[in-house]
A = this chain, B = another copy of it.
């Protein structure tokens, strides 16, 4: 077993990385829609032709750039069990998401805003729906849930995006943990009912 399975071509990796960084950098300063490919390649010190060597368009670079972040983010979500369905558990899970958003606030503000990318919104939505469906709903749901799991996932993903949007365009008075808690409390009732979960009465806060 040799270590030389593939040669990764350092130059290529370097270029991809430079482009990725350039895009993310630019997003801190301006809206996604207004960024030209020339802007990106200028910032990355790369020829425009080189860009097209690796990506079909801006979106493809964006998605490629996001992929690793998301892989890393979603990795490490421990599965939940029905018995664990408590506010406390929910809080922990969701706080991770909000922390991620907070860490890339400029980026998300640019992408979700009025000059952002509908493609990106779609992607985030799909990501969140999938996460919810696979990691939360499927493990928890009884066979005879009150609502279609896809519906619930869409509801939750939408709500989360809505809430993130609000959070980003607001002073930043709330911590990720607070946001997660607020989310959890808004969801708990509906989720519990839809999935026929035995909601701990103590869990309903006063």
| B-contacting 9-mer, from A8-16, A72-80, A96-104, A186-194 | A186-194
Copies in the complex: 4
Asked whether B193 lies within 8 Å of A146 as measured between CB atoms, the reply is no
User: Which of these, B115, B152, B190, contacts A118 with CB under 8 Å?
Assistant: B115
Asked whether A151 lies within 8 Å of B166 as measured between CB atoms, the reply is yes
List chain B residues, Cβ under 8 A from A185.
Answer: 146-147, 190, 193-194
Sample of 10 further A-B pairs with CB below 8 A, known A152-B186, A158-B165, A189-B190? A33-B118, A115-B118, A118-B118, A118-B121, A125-B162, A129-B162, A185-B193, A186-B194, A188-B189, A189-B192
What is A's interface to B at a CB cutoff of 8 Å? 33, 112-119, 121-122, 125, 129, 146-147, 150-163, 165-167, 170, 182-183, 185-194, 204-205
